[in-house]
Structures are given as C-alpha cells and as structure tokens.
Amino acid sequence: MTSPPTYTDRAQMPPRYRDTVEQLMRSQAYRELAAARLFGHGLQFAEEHRYIKFMTWHIREEIDHYFAVANMYERFTGQSLQDWVQARLRERPIPFAGSWFELAMAQFLYDRGGFWQLQEYAECSFLPYRDIIGKIIEEERGHQGLGERIVIEACQSGRYEAEKQPLFERWLRLGLLSFGRPYTESNAYAISVGLKRRDSAEVMRDFIADIRPTVVACGLRFPHPAALQMELPPDLELTP
C-alpha cells in the first residue's frame, strides 16, 4: 500500500487536509492548557517537597507544550489561537481536583489518556506537527507512572474506600474523551491521509488494557458503559 504524501507547506495541502490540520492544532492546544490549569490548581494539595517540585515542573511542561502548538498554529495560519482556546475552556472546562488523591487520579487517567492520544500522531504526515508531537511525547513519557503509583498506594491504604470508585469513573470518562468519537468519517479521513494511525476505538481498547492491572490492584471496577454517558465502541471490554 502506498504511503500518503507528507506536507510541510500550507499552500501544497488540499483544503480538507489543511482544515483538519488546523483542527488538530486547536484541539491539542486546548488539551495542553486545560492540563496546565488542572495541575496548577492542584499544586495547593502538594505538601511534600518532592511533589511540590514535580508539580511545578509538570505545570511548566504543559504550558511549554501549549505555546509550542499555539506558536505553530500562528505560523501556519497567520492568526492567534489565544481567543479560540480561552472560549473553548469556558465552554468545556476541565474540572479541578478537590484533593491530592483526586489529583493523582486525574494524573493517572486524564493525563495518561492524553499521552495515548498523542502517540497516534507520532508519524503524522504533516511533518512540523510530527516534530512537535514527538518532542511532547518524549517529555510526557517521563511522568506517566507517578499518578498511578500514588493511586495504588492510596487505594490499598483503605482510607479512600468511599470516594475512590466515583473519582475513578469521573476521570476515566475524561480520559476516554481525549480520543474523540469512534468510527467517525473524520477519523477515517485523518487515517487515510496519514494524519493519525488508528481509529479512536482502537486507542480506547489499548488504553483500557493498559490501565486494567492498576484498576484490579486498587480494588476498582470499570463502570457499565452507559454510566459513562459518552459514545464508546460496542466491543469495548469494561470488565476487570
């Protein structure tokens, strides 16, 4: 099978390809700034020095990723992304965590979901986007296990029995939303032109398989799909 063409120049792109690239950059910028706000608000819950240092580093990293994407968008379109992202954050704000335990759950599921989503663009046919996403993936890889370790330790302590399942379901849904709706025509188009590798459904399945051992170790349960109130692939296996 012939590989799709790659692009570096906006003028060379078919109109739909160009529009899809712009949409990808807008969505990624929104996710990066939303994550920075989430973890910035959560800094108040970090008490140990090692976690204060980690959180401030993590926040700065998310901000740097936001500006990397926003600056690329401005070079690509000649327009600022600022107003669009701020409007999007007002329309679809990511909830803030109310405790250190919830912040760890968010880091485990929301941040991890974003990491899985990013990997689908590692071979993107728009080469400048591929370069930036590759850099973000490498930096994100360095902190993927921290939230998971904190969640396991907290759940196994027995101190969070009443709250752990509701918080798990809340942040599981937000993590899964990172991948977009499965089996859409826009998904198929992005795959066909090499902007992403796979359909959202496949990424959701891998994400669930990835977190399943931790779900079991924490004594958590995957909810019934209907409880998540979102569009999921019919064959997504939400069982321990």
Nearest-CA neighbor of 169 among 122, 228, 219? 228
Task: Say yes or no to pLDDT of 146 above 90.
Answer: no
Rounded to whole angstroms, the Cα distance separating 111 from 236 reads 21
In a domain, 240, yes or no: no
- Residue-wise pLDDT for 22-70, tens only, equals 999 999 999 999 999 999 999 999 999 999 999 999 999 999 999 999 9
Range of the structural domain that residue 223 is part of:
10-228
- Residue-wise pLDDT for 60-112, tens only, equals 999 999 999 999 999 999 999 999 999 999 999 999 999 999 999 999 999 99
Rounded to whole angstroms, the Cα distance separating 38 from 106 reads 9
Task: Say yes or no to pLDDT of 240 above 80.
Answer: no
- Residue-wise pLDDT for 157-202, tens only, equals 999 999 999 999 999 999 999 999 999 999 999 999 999 999 999 9
The pTM assigned to this predicted structure is: 0.93
In a domain, 3, yes or no: no
> What pLDDT does residue 2 have?
79
Kindly report the CATH number assigned to the domain that includes residue 162.
1.20.1260.10
For the segment 153-159, the average pLDDT, to the nearest whole number, is 95
Site of tokens 């779900």: 215
In a domain, 113, yes or no: yes
In a domain, 235, yes or no: no
> What pLDDT does residue 141 have?
78
Alpha helices, DSSP H, located in the chain: 15-42, 49-77, 82-91, 100-106, 112-119, 127-141, 146-157, 164-177, 185-192, 200-217
In a domain, 1, yes or no: no
In a domain, 237, yes or no: no
As given in the structure block, the two tokens for residue 44 are 């108040």
In a domain, 234, yes or no: no
Give every CB contact of residue 64 below 8 A, 6+ residues apart in sequence.
none
In a domain, 42, yes or no: yes
> What pLDDT does residue 213 have?
95
> What pLDDT does residue 239 have?
74
Give every CB contact of residue 8 below 8 A, 6+ residues apart in sequence.
126, 127, 128
Number of domains in the chain: 1
Task: Say yes or no to pLDDT of 1 above 70.
Answer: no
Rounded to whole angstroms, the Cα distance separating 12 from 26 reads 21
CA-based torsion, 34, 37, 43, 44: positive or negative = negative
Rounded to whole angstroms, the Cα distance separating 60 from 12 reads 35
Rounded to whole angstroms, the Cα distance separating 176 from 205 reads 10
Q: What angle do CA 142, 143, 149 make, to 5 degrees?
A: 135
